[in-house]
Amino acid sequence: MKQDSRISAEEASRNPIAAFDPDRISGLQANTSAIERRAATLPGRRSVKGAAQAAWLMRAITMIDLTTLAGDDTPGRVRRLCAKARRPVRADILAALGMGDVPITTGAVCVYHEMVPVAVAALEGSGIPVAAVSTGFPAGLSPLPLRIAEIHESVAAGAAEIDIVISRRHVLTGDWERLHDELCQFREACGPAHMKAILATGELGSLRAVAQASHVAMMAGADFIKTSTGKESVNATLPVSLVMLRAIRDHHRLTGYRVGYKPAGGISKAKDSLVYLSLIKEELGQHWLSPDLFRFGASSLLGDIERQLEHHAAGAYSAAHRHPMG
């Protein structure tokens, strides 16, 4: 279909808002036992070793949303985190790996709304986007007008990505059209900022509900679908990831638009990041292995990856305090 010449190439390729299609939701199923069996095989049979492992870990760094979402966040902490996002691996480790001249940064820095101006200023000129959690994060239970206003405020402050949370009650009661309507309003409020829809999968009750919520979010124009806020008792898991990735694949097959994926919460080890990257490659293909379409929501993950890279460079593991976040 020919695109309007006034629309940018980025906007033309961006997943648009679509009308709610109840038939697309009602026929969805999830074979939980088969999904869990498939997920259980992934850590053992997808092993990456040697120089290839170092290269994959470097790629994983570029897909991390380096995150601080604590009640005691301060401007100083956010600035230190942004400095780490600019230089995520120590210069001596990069030099030892023969990558001293290779520019590498994290995919984004994710903060609460109040810290958006601080992060934007700290990252100026780096090309690293600021992501803001919004819409009453993490519960999503504040009045709808306030949630929409919060999005507007974060975009105005310079956030290039908005991590919104869905109303879990709409999923649990099967009110899919209301969920779609709410998410469409969030997407419109985001404007040019990309919307990452947090499904809070640990609170949705079943893998079928995860699949249904994924499809509704993508129909409503989500640029990314994301597992968790990181505040639930169960966050990112491989079975949930498998369901969400296959929903993304189905959406691409049906519409031609690519939607990104962000597992968040509980991913803290370098070896886990390799499993997720392997899963992405198997289910969606090489195209999704980029920061435009895949992110880890994490904070401690970067420290463990840097520690593994130092092991590749020096042949020994170092103490965790040698790889601070800020």
Active-site residues, by number, are 163, 226, 262
Q: Is 59 helix (H, G, I), strand (E, B) or coil?
A: helix
- The alpha carbon of residue 216 and the mean position of all alpha carbons in its chain are separated, in whole angstroms, by 18
278, 294 contact by CB (below 8 A) = no
Spatial distance between the Cα atoms of 188 and 184, rounded to a whole number of angstroms: 6
What is the Rg, in whole angstroms, of the alpha carbon atoms belonging to the chain?
A: 19
DSSP string computed for 213-244 = HHHHHHHTT-SEEE---S-SSS---HHHHHHH
Nearest to 141 by CA among 163, 161, 162, 165: 165
Helix (H) or strand (E) segment spanning residue 169 = helix 168-172
Q: How far apart are CA 151 and CA 272, in angstroms?
A: 32
